[in-house]
């Protein structure tokens, strides 16, 4: 995804990522233990805690849980004209509180130092009163690496794929997850599950593990398990498969003419492998596959694809995230409010980076009030989002990151040695 974000005008971010409680409970990482809930918290009986929380939320809170926008500033209390203009609230913390946000996605403009990101993450968590925030980022390693200023320079997917070593894929994902968790980030929009079928592909390319569906599936499965080892939620992207296109969905709307049989053979295997491995989330693609849905709508807005294929055919029960809703590929036919509503109706749970946040939020809220989006449909998404938190161990108490611990984990000798393996 490409986010075009303004700071006193317009700050352009580079390529972005491009849900899930399919995974089991998180396995705590000793390296990032300071970012885990306390043992007492993790031992609390959950019972029907998810449903209790859903029932306790107002309609406005539930709608807020569906959204993950960008906020502006390097601290939770940073006063920004960008926040005022886009959200009607001065600081990131006030944005979170005003809209009862389910999550926030971090970009390089939010990053200055390890201690600063830790403080930002903790401050954002403090602002979320009902349930802990999903704090996400795009850390694929390689081309799309939002935290590259702070984290180990780990190998990109194509370099990992070239080794043919699934344990290496798992180890790199584990290291990535450990470093993210140490910073206070609990959701990574990785791994890329696309098969790079088109050498002219301008948006996937080296971000994919390769061009062989079976080999990519094995690498994706291993990466999902590695993120799980670290206790960080992972996201397979971009469903139903963005690998065979020569159009960039950040600016245009790609059309992929795979038949259903071709999709099952070429595109589906890595996503099925990710689901089988317990991936927490799956991200949609802003692509048209007319043989899978002849409406002309991108997959992000397609019920036959998100619900029919991903939920019903592949059996995915976790969080479905949209790719960034500010991208050109999803904004061709509908306004920014209608896009958000249609994404929910298609099956999406997490609405990422709407171009006009108030318009998107109010459109979804209005659709719920009118009955176009039923209360049951809304509750289903909120339940999945809360279940992801439960599976990762932070449903009732937010993990706290530690700057001291993060300094030990980030760019550790162990992780630098791992990075050198792909170069050797």
- pLDDT tens-place string over residues 322-361: 999 999 878 888 999 999 999 999 999 999 999 999 999 9
CB atoms closer than 10 angstroms to residue 199: 8
- pLDDT tens-place string over residues 227-275: 999 999 999 999 999 877 765 555 567 888 999 999 999 999 999 999 9
pLDDT of residue 249: 54
Residue with token string 């997959």: 299
pLDDT at 392 over 70: yes
Point out the residues that are catalytic: 250, 323
Question: What pTM was computed for the model?
Answer: 0.88
Dihedral of alpha carbons 411, 29, 210, 317, sign? negative
pLDDT of residue 1: 46
- pLDDT tens-place string over residues 42-95: 334 444 999 999 999 999 999 999 999 999 999 999 999 999 999 999 999 999
Q: What angle do CA 90, 106, 342 make, to 5 degrees?
A: 85
pLDDT of residue 247: 58
pLDDT of residue 32: 39
pLDDT at 31 over 50: no
Query: What percent of the chain has pLDDT above 90?
Result: 80
The whole-chain average pLDDT of the chain stands at 89
pLDDT of residue 415: 97
pLDDT of residue 22: 37
pLDDT of residue 307: 98
In our burial notation (b when 16+ CB lie closer than 10 A, e otherwise), range 314-324 reads bebebbbbbbb
Domains belonging to the chain, first-starting first, are: 2-423 (3.20.20.300)
Cα distances from 235 to residues 78, 162, 253, 375, in angstroms, run 29, 22, 22, 26
pLDDT of residue 273: 98
Query: What percent of the chain has pLDDT above 70?
Result: 87
**Binning pLDDT at 50, 70 and 90, where does residue 203 land?**
confident
pLDDT at 6 over 60: no
pLDDT at 38 over 60: no
Contacts of 392 by beta carbon, 8 Å cutoff, 6+ apart:
23, 25, 26, 186, 231, 232, 233, 280
SS3 of 310, please?
helix
């Amino acid at each position: 995804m490409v986010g075009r974000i303004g700071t006193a005008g317009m700050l352009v971010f580079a390529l972005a990522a491009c849900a899930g409680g399919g995974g089991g409970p998180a396995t705590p990482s000793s390296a990032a233990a300071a970012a885990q809930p306390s043992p007492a918290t993790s031992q609390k009986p959950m019972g029907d805690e998810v449903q209790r929380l859903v029932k306790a939320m107002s309609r406005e809170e539930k709608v807020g849980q569906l959204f993950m926008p960008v906020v502006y500033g390097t601290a939770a209390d940073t006063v920004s004209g960008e926040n005022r203009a886009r959200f009607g609230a001065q600081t990131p913390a006030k944005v979170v509180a005003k809209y009862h946000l389910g999550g926030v996605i971090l970009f390089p403009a939010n990053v200055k130092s390890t201690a600063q990101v830790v403080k930002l993450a903790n401050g954002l968590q403090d602002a979320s009163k009902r349930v802990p925030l999903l704090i996400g980022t795009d850390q694929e390693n390689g081309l799309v690496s939002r935290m590259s200023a702070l984290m180990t320079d780990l190998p990109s997917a194509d370099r990992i794929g070239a080794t043919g070593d699934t344990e290496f894929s798992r180890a790199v994902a584990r290291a990535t997850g450990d470093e993210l968790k140490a910073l206070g980030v609990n959701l990574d929009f990785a791994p890329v599950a696309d098969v790079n079928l088109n050498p002219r592909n301008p948006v996937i390319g080296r971000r994919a593990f390769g061009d062989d569906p079976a080999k990519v599936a094995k690498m994706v499965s291993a990466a999902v398990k590695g993120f799980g080892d670290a206790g960080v939620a992972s996201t397979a992207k971009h469903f139903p498969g963005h690998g065979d296109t020569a159009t960039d969905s950040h600016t245009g709307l790609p059309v992929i003419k795979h038949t259903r049989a071709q999709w099952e053979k070429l595109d589906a295997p890595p996503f099925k492998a990710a689901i089988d491995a317990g991936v927490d989330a799956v991200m949609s693609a802003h692509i048209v596959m007319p043989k899978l849905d002849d409406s002309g709508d991108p997959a992000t807005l397609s019920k036959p694809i998100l619900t029919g294929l991903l939920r019903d055919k592949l059996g995915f029960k976790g969080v479905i995230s949209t790719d960034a809703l500010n991208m050109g590929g999803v904004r061709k036919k509908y306004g920014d409010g209608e896009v958000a509503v249609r994404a929910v109706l298609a099956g999406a749970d997490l609405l990422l980076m709407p171009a006009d946040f108030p318009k998107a939020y109010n459109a979804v809220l209005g659709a719920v009030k009118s009955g176009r989006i039923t209360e049951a449909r809304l509750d289903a998404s909120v339940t999945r989002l809360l279940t992801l938190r439960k599976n990762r161990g932070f449903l009732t108490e937010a993990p706290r990151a530690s700057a001291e611990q993060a300094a030990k984990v980030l760019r550790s000798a162990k992780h630098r040695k791992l990075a050198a393996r792909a170069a050797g």
